[in-house]
Every structure is written in C-alpha cells, then in structure tokens.
C-alpha cells in the first residue's frame, strides 16, 4: 500500500454562472497527503479552500483532474466502491450551529452515519455513541439532549464525534475552530491531535489562522485565488517562506514580544483580491505582488521544488 492516502493531480472546480461566465473556485490544485499526517491548507477567505475540501470528499464533482484515495479515482467511483469511500472519509464543518439537525438528539446525530452504513445496532449502537461522546470530552447524559442546549465549543465536539462514528481513515476539518471563542479553540485543536494519535487518523485541516495551522500541521499548502502557490513542511514555511503572498500572510501574525513587534516590518498588500470570475492573466497574485515582473503577466509559473520538499509557484525562482 502506498504511503499516500490521497493524491490530487491538477484538480479544478469551476461553477457556471450563466451568461457565459465561469467562476474558477479551484483552478490548479495538486497535493499528496501521507497516511497519519495533518496537511494544513491556508489562505484568505474566498480563495477556494473549502471548495477544494468539498471537491476532494465529492460533495462537489471535480470539473477536471484526478482525486485518488487509496489509489482509486474518487470521481469515477459508484455503487459499492463509492459507499466504501464515503465510509472511509468524513468532514467536520465550520459552523457548529448550522451543521447539526436541531430536531435530532445529539445521540441520533452522532449515530446517523453508523445507521447509514449499518455498522452498529441495538446495545452496541448505544455503547458506541456513549464511547464517542466521552472521547470528545462530553458526558453520557448529553446523548438525549438537543443541539440548542449546547455551547459552540460543545457542538463542535459533537460534530467531531459524528465524524469519528463511521471510523474513517481521513477527515477534512473545514475551519473547525473559526466560529469558536479563543479560549475554546486550543481545546478543540488538542482534541484533534489526541484523537489522531489514538485512531491513526489523517487530516486535511483548512483554516486561515496561521498560528493554529502551524501548531497542528505537519505540512502546509498556501492557496491564493483557487491556486496553490506554496507547499512545504510547517517548520520550513514559517522559517523560510518563498512566495511573496506567503511572506505577507506570515508578516500579519502578531508576535507576543513588544521589542520584536516594534521593529518588525509588516507587508501590507495593495489593492483587492481579483474576482475568480475574471482572474488576471499569468500569475494570479501579480496584481498585488510587490515583486511582480513582466513575465508574471505573460505566463503562469510552474510549481517547482526549490529546496527539498519545498515547492513554490513563482517566477522569482
């Protein structure tokens, strides 16, 4: 079996808006995710991170490209094979208030996936739900309550328990902490880490909080306007960012040292993010890039390995 649980090759997801307009939500996306690792995906709001996650898990069908899960192309699966794929993958959604059915008890919400895949019935089902609710730090007495009786942090824990219920190999966590209080965020991230160790899970962790992504991720991909612009290890990205966009993102992270913060130079980008309906020619970042050259408007830079395991899509290299 390959070391990679997921191999994505030039995946694109375009939406047809009518009148001949096409929104290029994800335009050039190629990554590999190893078994047992956490791959962080970062970028500004609207850059296509969530769409990429939903296309990987086949909530959306890809416009083109390949998504190989355990060597099989996800977008060509049907019948029993597709059911097997659904059983091995799960998603934790951004909004803990909208992602739970208000008419279902917490126990039934957690068990829904088990019922669909016929995993447990009767006493085993009840025991499994109790085990999961305790695994995410809640009490057995919470099983018969409804979502409105819980705080945001507790609801997100319920969402994680629901994802774990089908015993998946791979979980996509789509901005799982952005709707939570700062005091709760670290608890939820630590829960992800401990569950990963316990169950051997692989994560795609989508977020825009770079400090939190560094803490949880083994490797990180940076997205801009539907395109991956840099991919490397978490340590390398923060120590040696190569792409001008990555540099600007990292310069915005506050450092808890007044002396360093006083002399540090922020990179403030000019202009607005272009529309994915009408992206710029060549490099998508060139209209805001402080280092843009003539070639940037003429051609899209290829993704190349500049240092071992450090890839960047930029004409500077």
Please give the full DSSP string across 57-115, using - where no structure is assigned.
TTSS--SEEEEEETTEEGGG--HHHHHHHHHHEEEE-S-TTTSS-TTS-HHHHHHHHHH
**pLDDT in the model for residue 205:** 95
Instruction: Check whether 37 has a pLDDT greater than 90.
Output: yes
pTM equals: 0.90
pLDDT tens-place string over residues 103-133: 999 999 999 999 999 888 889 999 999 988 9
- Cα-Cα-Cα-Cα torsion 67, 73, 75, 76, nearest 10 degrees, comes to 160
Q: Which two structure tokens, joined as six digits, stand for 149?
A: 């009786």
> What is the mean predicted confidence (pLDDT) over 231-256?
87
Residue that is written with structure tokens 């009767």 in the block: 122
> What is the mean predicted confidence (pLDDT) over 213-224?
92
**pLDDT in the model for residue 19:** 85
Instruction: Check whether 257 has a pLDDT greater than 70.
Output: no
DSSP helix/strand/coil, 49: helix
Instruction: Check whether 263 has a pLDDT greater than 70.
Output: no
d(CA 169, CA 304): 30
Q: Which residues pair with 28 in a beta bridge?
A: 227
| Helices marked H in the chain | 49-56, 79-88, 106-116, 122-135, 152-164, 182-199, 210-216, 234-239, 244-251, 258-263, 294-298
120-128 long-range contacts (CB < 8 A, ≥24 apart) are 128/165
CB 10 within 8 A of CB 188: no
d(CA 21, CA 24): 10
* pLDDT over 90 percentage in the chain: 57
> What is the mean predicted confidence (pLDDT) over 137-155?
89
**pLDDT in the model for residue 259:** 65
Q: How far is CA 170 from CA 26, 92, 112, 160, 184, in A?
A: 21, 11, 18, 12, 24
> What is the mean predicted confidence (pLDDT) over 194-206?
92
Domain ranges of the chain: 244-316
**pLDDT in the model for residue 260:** 60
In what helix (H) or strand (E) does residue 18 lie, and over which residues does it extend? Answer: strand 4-18
107 vs 1 pLDDT, higher one: 107
Q: Considering the chain, what is the average pLDDT of its residues?
A: 89
* pLDDT over 70 percentage in the chain: 95
d(CA 166, CA 170): 11
What sign results for the dihedral spanned by CA atoms 123, 129, 135, 139?
negative
Of 86, 67, 69, whose CA–CA distance to 78 is shortest? 86
278 CB-contact burial (10 Å; exposed 0-12 / middle 13-18 / buried 19+)? exposed
> What is the mean predicted confidence (pLDDT) over 254-260?
64
Instruction: Check whether 261 has a pLDDT greater than 60.
Output: no
**pLDDT in the model for residue 1:** 60
d(CA 281, CA 279): 7
In what helix (H) or strand (E) does residue 27 lie, and over which residues does it extend? Answer: strand 21-34
Of 265, 245, 244, whose CA–CA distance to 255 is shortest? 265
pLDDT tens-place string over residues 18-28: 888 999 999 98
**pLDDT in the model for residue 94:** 82
pLDDT tens-place string over residues 267-314: 767 777 888 898 889 999 999 888 889 999 999 999 999 999 999 999
d(CA 63, CA 75): 10
d(CA 221, CA 6): 14
CB 229 within 8 A of CB 221: no
**pLDDT in the model for residue 212:** 83
Instruction: Check whether 255 has a pLDDT greater than 90.
Output: no
> What is the mean predicted confidence (pLDDT) over 38-46?
91
d(CA 283, CA 289): 10
């Amino acid at each position: 079996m390959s070391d990679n649980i997921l191999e994505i090759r030039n995946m694109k997801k375009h939406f047809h808006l009518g009148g001949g307009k096409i929104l290029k939500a994800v335009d050039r996306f190629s990554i590999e995710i190893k078994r047992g690792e956490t791959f962080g995906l970062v970028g500004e709001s609207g850059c296509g991170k969530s769409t990429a996650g939903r296309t990987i898990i086949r909530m959306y069908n890809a416009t083109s490209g390949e998504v190989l899960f355990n060597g099989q192309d996800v977008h060509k699966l049907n019948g029993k094979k597709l059911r097997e794929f659904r059983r091995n993958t799960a998603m934790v959604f951004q909004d803990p208030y909208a992602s739970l059915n208000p008419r279902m008890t917490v126990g039934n919400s957690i068990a829904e996936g088990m019922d669909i895949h016929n995993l447990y019935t009767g006493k085993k089902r009840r025991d499994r739900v109790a085990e999961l609710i305790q695994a995410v730090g809640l009490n057995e007495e919470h099983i018969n309550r409804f979502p409105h009786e819980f705080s945001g942090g507790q609801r997100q824990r319920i969402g994680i328990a629901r994802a774990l219920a089908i015993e998946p190999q791979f979980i996509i966590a789509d901005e799982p902490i952005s709707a939570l209080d700062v005091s709760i965020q670290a608890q939820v991230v630590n829960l992800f880490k401990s569950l990963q160790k316990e169950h051997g899970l692989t994560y795609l962790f989508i977020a825009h909080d770079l400090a939190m992504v560094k803490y949880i991720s083994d490797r990180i991909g940076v997205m801009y306007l539907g395109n991956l612009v840099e991919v490397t290890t978490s340590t390398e990205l923060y120590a040696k960012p190569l792409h001008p966009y990555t540099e600007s993102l990292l310069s915005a992270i506050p450092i808890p040292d007044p002396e360093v913060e006083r002399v540090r130079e922020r990179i403030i980008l000019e202009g607005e993010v272009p529309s994915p309906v009408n992206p710029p020619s060549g490099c998508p970042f060139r209209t805001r890039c402080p280092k843009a050259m003539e070639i940037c408007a003429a051609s899209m830079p290829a993704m190349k390995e500049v240092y071992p395991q450090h890839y960047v899509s930029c004409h500077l290299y």
